[in-house]
Amino acid sequence: MSTPRGPRPIQAEDVNEIDRILVPIDGSNCSGKAAQFAGRLAKRLSAEVHVLFVSETNYAGPWFYYMLDDAVSKKIRQRGRTIADEAAETLRESGVSDVESHIEEGHPGEVIAEMAARLDADLIVMGTHGRRGLERALMGSVAREVANVSTVPLLLVK
């Protein structure tokens, strides 16, 4: 018997059991909206928030492959640290008492799902651009990938 893939459905009674929220961010407006929403939810539920920036320095896709050199990779990680720390500080200033920021490297969808499992997160809150058609096919969808590989409930903010 195979294990079902994708997030498990969240039930109404589960909402009060949300103690740990993972918020992947990339510096975009939609990830900022997701962080704000997660902050409001965390305050209401007295939950901790983990802000995650994933530095993707290597990519192998259907149409191209790239590897970034060490200097560029370092700059991306530094920028990611700034983005994550600023988001965490904004959440603290808005009244969320327990916030941590994390910087990881790898393929974003996989890293987000792995981090959610490692943290034993109760919910992933992430932004989505809502792209469709060719734009989605070319750009991919990290949110869609997380939905397909993670067993943690996923809330998308547009």
pLDDT tens for the 158 residues of the chain, in order: 444 555 656 555 566 789 999 999 999 999 999 999 999 999 999 999 999 999 886 655 555 555 667 787 788 889 999 999 999 999 999 999 999 999 999 889 999 999 999 999 999 999 987 655 555 444 458 888 898 899 999 999 98
pLDDT at 64: 52
Q: Which element (helix H / strand E) includes 49?
A: strand 48-55
pLDDT number for residue 98: 97
Sorted by where each starts, the structural domains of the chain and their CATH numbers stand as 20-157 (3.40.50.620)
Q: What pLDDT does residue 71 have?
A: 80
User: What's the pLDDT at 68?
Assistant: 63
| DSSP H or E segment with residue 145 | helix 142-149
- Work out whether the CA dihedral 5, 7, 11, 14 comes out positive or negative: positive
Q: Please work out, in degrees rounded to the nearest 5, the angle formed at the alpha carbon of residue 94 by the alpha carbons of 90 and 95.
A: 120
Phi, psi of 40 (to 5 degrees): -60, -45
Q: CA–CA separation, 71 vs 88, rounded Å? A: 26
Q: What is the model's pTM?
A: 0.82
Confirm if 16 and 45 have CB atoms less than 8 A apart: yes
pLDDT of the residue at 41: 96
